[in-house]
Structure 1
C-alpha cells in the first residue's frame, strides 16, 4: 500500500519526514511563545518557567460545534483544573477579535490565545496542512518541558480529563482554601 502511495505521490516521503521533524516530543523544552489573549493581556510561556505548570489546549476554529463544547466544558468545570498549580489556555490560529467574541459567548473565564501568523502552532506541531490548529492539549511542567501531548481530546469532558491528567502527572495541588 505504501509503495502504491509513494508511486502516485513521490514527494510524500519528504512531506512525512518534514512533518515528523517538527513534531514536539514529551521531555523536550516547550517552544516559548508570546501571544495575545482574549482578555487583552499578552502571555509568554517564559513567564511561567520555574513558577507554574501550563496547559495549552489547541482548538481548530472558534464558533464551531466541537470547539464550543470544549470551551464551555472548561468554563463550566474550570474549578477542577484550578485545584492544581497551573495556568491554562485555549489557543487557535483565529484572529484575536474572533477569539475575544467566542470567549464572551461561551463564558470563558480563562484566556483564549490567538496565533494569527501560525508560527506557534507550527512550532508545537499542531498546525494542520489546511491551516487550522489540530485539537491537541499540551501539558508543560514548571521546568518548561513537555509532560504530555493529548491528541485524543474529548470536547465534552475536556475539563474533567484535563484535571485528571494533571493529577496523573503529579502537578502540585493547591491547598484547600474552603473553610
Structure 2
C-alpha cells in the first residue's frame, strides 16, 4: 500500500551517520518532518538536492521542521557524504530497504542495481499525518521544494 496524503506516516527506526537509532516517532507532537528519500550518496543530482536543502535550513527551522534524508547507502557511506558536503541535517541509512519499501519508493531496478530508493519527499505534520507526498519517476528530477515550503507554512 502506498502511503497517501492524510494517511498516518509509517513509523521507522534507522541508523544515522553516527550509528545511532533515530525513529520517526521521536518527532511526533514536537516537530514537522520533511522526509527526503534519495537514490545514492555522492551522485550528482542527489548532491544537488541535499546541498540545496542544506542551504535552506533556516526556512525549515523557522517552520519547526526537521529534515530527515534517507537512502539505501550504509551509514558509513552517508557519514562520508555528510562530511564531504557539510550537510547540516540528519541522514539515515535504510540499508535493508525496509523503510523505502514501507513508503513504496523503491526502484526494483535502477541502472542494474536492485532496490534503490526513488527520489521522493513526504511532509509529515506533528500529528504524524502525511500532508504532502511527491514521488518522482525520473531520478534526474528534483522535488518541488516550493510546494514543500508552502505545505509547511500551512501547518501550525
Question: Which category describes the TM-score, using the shorter chain as reference length?
Answer: 0.7 to 0.9
Query: Corresponding residue for 1:58?
Result: 37
1:140 aligned residue? 124
Q: Which runs of 5+ in 1 are unaligned?
A: 1-21, 173-179
How large is the Cα RMSD of the aligned pairs? 1.7
- Residue 54 of structure 2 is aligned with which of 75, 79, 102? 75
Aligned length: 147
What residue is the counterpart of 2:142 in the other structure? Answer: 154
TM-score (norm 2): 0.86
Greater share of helix: 1
- Alignment-derived partner of residue 8 in structure 2: 29
Please say if 1:125 is aligned against 2:111: no
The answer to which structure has the higher strand fraction is 2
- Runs (4+) of structure 1 exceeding 6 A deviation are none
- CA offsets 1:60-84 (integer angstroms, 9 cap, x no match): 0001010000111111221121111
TM-score (norm 1): 0.76
Output the CA distance in 1 between the equivalents of 2:86 and 2:149: 19
